[in-house]
Structure 1
Amino acid sequence: MHVTRIERIERIKGAALAGARGLALSLLSLAGSLVLFVTSVVSIVCVVVGVGLFTTPPLLRLVRSHADVRRTLAARWCGVTIPRAAYRTRPGDRLPAPFGQPVACLRMLRDPATWRSLRWLLADMTAGFATALLPAALVAYPIEGYALAAGLWRVFDGGVWWYGFVPVGGQATALAAAVLATLIAVVAYYAAEPMLRVHFTLTRRLLAPHGAELRHRVEELARTRHDAVDASAAELRRIERDLHDGAQARLVAMGMNLGTVDALMESDPATARALLARARADSVRALEELRELVRGIYPPVLAERGLSDAVRALALRMPVPVEPRTELPGRPEAAVESAAYFATSEALTNAAKHAAATHVRLQLTHQYGVLRIDVTDDGRGGADPEGSGLRGIARRLDAFDGTLTVNSPAGGPTSVTMEIPCSLLPPGSVA
């Protein structure tokens, strides 16, 4: 098949980019995976003396984040999809202090996905390091051969410099090194990108859930679907009740008043005008109630301006000062936006109603394929993760594989962290 000049240039760029990415991955595999594996193993061993009960959960959260980074890079760089782990426990496990960390530690250690992640760390710092470094070496090594042919061998005049299997001691052998460098460059031209894919294929093989984990995942999806259906039915009943008791009643009363106005227009104009004024007031109130109802279903500012501006508008309506910080380079899908908005609204409402807070910090970020919402207040603490408000947030996030972490010691502060795996649409796109 004929390859055009532009296609050759693109392939050269692709090979060079694969080499740079391979170098970055090799450093990530050697440094990140090695450090996390050693510290995690030491922490798990220290569980027997009690210290590990408190150090292991945050370390395992770092392991999960490290694995999520690799999943994101696999999809972004090579189009390799690595399913998220079906963890049976969540960070912090929504347990109150001081027992949250020890109980979460024991539950996380009983989770097969935890041990699969640790096995991946061991493989990643060895085989993963080698498969990532190979494309980088293929791309970079020819540079040395060409440098020797250009005269670098003179620096070692009187000695022998080995380039591969070629002993370079003069210009002739330096030219032989350049020939070998060309052969290696040709291999890199064709093989650098596929070799980088091998690294991510190995990662997928080790991180992707299998067997019992997949069955557990199916059970969890069935449960969250059932919860979502129940939540939708409850929401429909609420909308029906609000319409029946609010706007519908006012519209019926307004219709009756207008009928009376029609009958009194000739005989009692003063009473007719009073009834018209009442009907006008009822129409205004009905319109306000309909707007409130629509805002409760899907706020217009969320549809028009996106999650960042909707959260800022929400912060302005709170009875306590809220300091919002939003850093979103794009927009999530509409369903994720809606879930994140109402979860944030519930968390802020809890801080205002139950925590006796005087100041709330709200941070909205998106990193490594995860939308993260942090709500921290300076209230009295002691929030119950099993309370109706926080449990409702958890159910809302479950539908999107999201997690809720609550840290609320007595006396405060209370920190609520919500995470939803999702991708962002480019700025300007309609969610």
Structure 2
Amino acid sequence: MGRWVRTVVGLLLGFGTALPGLVAAASPRAATRMVVLERRRLARFLGVESGEPGPGRAARYLLVHAAVGLLGGFVVVWLCYGLYYVPVVAYRLLSGEVDPLELVWTGFVGLVLLYIESQGIAGVARLDAAAARRLLGRGEAEVLRERVGELAASRAGIVAAVDAERRRIERDLHDGVQQRLVALGMLLGRARRHPERADELVAQAHEEAREVLDDLRAVAWRVFPAALDALGLAEALATVADRSAIPVELSCPPTATITPVETAVYFLVSEAVTNAVKHSGATMIKVDVTREDDVVRVLVEDDGIGGADPAGGGLSGLSRRVLALDGTFGVTSPEGGPTAVVAAIPCA
């Protein structure tokens, strides 16, 4: 009830400022002052936080508010008119001027009108709030709340991504390196027990040691490629393209320094290419990395069968990595293809 009373009072005040605001819109200074009052009304009675606009936006808001304020006043006046008849009907009932059947019909019509009025008031209040948000902008408190929510979500995403990466490294070490080291130890043990076959078994152990070294290099590369530090993003991505089982058409400008943005771009491209190789059935992958002003844009597109799930483990991990840097991430993958992974990361 308290919220409804505040809403009605807010619409009545908006009705009172509609015509003065229309006059004030002709003067930039007067418009700015009138909008200050409007922002207080919106915050106090309608719970709408809005930004502080310039003179031009203030005048446009007041022109729109004139129409919304007059509509709100009209709806509230009709509500008051209906409420006025409540004591009138009660008096006529007590004085015996109204028969029961007429009372029931009047009460039914009154409830219907009250419902229509309540919906009208709620609709005008939403319209008033929408006009303020569209023309005045969001308030600082609302922006801060949204930003805190984004940071909390990205922090949780980073923790999940780190845990997933740790599990993948552990799995790679357990299924690859560890198994080969066990085999290496068994070969050396057999060489000690069977001196007559030592040369053959040592040769096998030597080959197994080379395989272990290759596995360790692969794990280390997935953790953080040395080429990214030593040669830069373009060369590191060229290595990803060379390692791919599907031809990769790469376009990436050379960079002088390595930043967290470029690290994110590397892992984004690497994971997207790996996913395409595993699941897309593509014959060609296109990777395009560009920088426009202070934004790095990435496109990884394949000509595969499509149907990639943006909520899947790999793509959702990429999304968290990009969002942690205040970037945007998107995936389009209709059935039949193509699949396109796009990202934009600010790097100011």
Percent of paired sites with the same residue: 44
What's the counterpart of residue 246 of structure 1? 176
What's the counterpart of residue 197 of structure 2? 271
Q: Does 1:306 align with 2:232?
A: yes
Helix, strand or coil: the match of 1:346? helix
Helix, strand or coil: the match of 1:354? helix
- More deviation in 318-327 or 353-362? 353-362
CA distance 1:359–1:239, change in 2 (3 Å) = closer
Q: Does 1:363 align with 2:293?
A: no
What's the counterpart of residue 291 of structure 1? 217
CA distance 1:317–1:422, change in 2 (3 Å) = same
Given that 1:328 and 1:365 are in contact with CA atoms closer than 8 Å, whether structure 2 keeps it comes out as: no
Distance 1:383 1:122 in 2: 46
Per-residue CA shift, 1:232-286, capped at 9, x if unaligned?
Answer: 1222232223223332343344345435544x4xxx5322223322221221111
CA distance 1:302–1:379, change in 2 (3 Å) = same
Distance 2:337 2:232 in 1: 32
Q: Does 1:398 align with 2:328?
A: no
Please show how residues 196-275 of structure 1 align to structure 2 within 5 Å: 210-262=140-192, 264=193, 268-275=194-201
CA distance 1:407–1:275, change in 2 (3 Å) = closer
- Residue identity matched to 1:421: P
Helix, strand or coil: the match of 1:211? helix
Given that 1:227 and 1:395 are in contact with CA atoms closer than 8 Å, whether structure 2 keeps it comes out as: yes
Q: Post-superposition shift, 1:419?
A: 1.3
Distance 1:120 1:331 in 2: 40
CA distance 1:409–1:306, change in 2 (3 Å) = same
Q: Post-superposition shift, 1:294?
A: 0.5
Q: Does 1:386 align with 2:311?
A: yes
Per-residue CA shift, 1:400-427, capped at 9, x if unaligned?
Answer: 122112233444433321111124xxxx
Helix, strand or coil: the match of 1:386? coil
Helix, strand or coil: the match of 2:341? strand
Distance 1:417 1:240 in 2: 30
Given that 2:184 and 2:205 are in contact with CA atoms closer than 8 Å, whether structure 1 keeps it comes out as: yes
Given that 2:234 and 2:255 are in contact with CA atoms closer than 8 Å, whether structure 1 keeps it comes out as: no
- Residue identity matched to 1:355: S
Q: Post-superposition shift, 1:208?
A: 10
TM-score (norm 2): 0.56
What's the counterpart of residue 28 of structure 2? none
CA distance 1:351–1:259, change in 2 (3 Å) = closer
- Residue identity matched to 2:297: R
Given that 1:328 and 1:366 are in contact with CA atoms closer than 8 Å, whether structure 2 keeps it comes out as: no
Q: Does 1:417 align with 2:347?
A: no
| Structure with the greater alpha carbon radius of gyration | 2
Aligned match for 2:269, one of 336, 344, 354? 344
- Residue identity matched to 1:367: E
Q: Does 1:374 align with 2:299?
A: yes
What's the counterpart of residue 128 of structure 2? none
Please show how residues 309-328 of structure 1 align to structure 2 within 5 Å: 309-328=235-254
Greater RCO, 1 or 2 (C-alpha within 8 Å, sep 6+): 1
Helix, strand or coil: the match of 2:140? coil
Please give the root-mean-square deviation of Cα atoms over the aligned residues, in Å.
3.4
Distance 2:51 2:234 in 1: 36
- Residue identity matched to 1:221: L
Per-residue CA shift, 1:40-91, capped at 9, x if unaligned?
Answer: xxxxxxxxxxxxxxxxxxxxxxxxxxxxxxxxxxxxxxxxxxxxxxxxxxxx
Per-residue CA shift, 1:143-184, capped at 9, x if unaligned?
Answer: xxxxxxxxxxxxxxxxxxxxxxxxxxxxxxxxxxxxxxxxxx
Helix, strand or coil: the match of 2:263? helix
Distance 1:297 1:317 in 2: 16
Helix, strand or coil: the match of 2:252? strand
Given that 2:272 and 2:300 are in contact with CA atoms closer than 8 Å, whether structure 1 keeps it comes out as: yes
Q: Post-superposition shift, 1:293?
A: 0.7
CA distance 1:304–1:116, change in 2 (3 Å) = farther
Name structure 2 gaps, 5 residues minimum.
1-47, 58-135
CA distance 1:258–1:208, change in 2 (3 Å) = farther
Distance 1:320 1:218 in 2: 41
CA distance 1:416–1:209, change in 2 (3 Å) = farther
Helix, strand or coil: the match of 1:327? coil
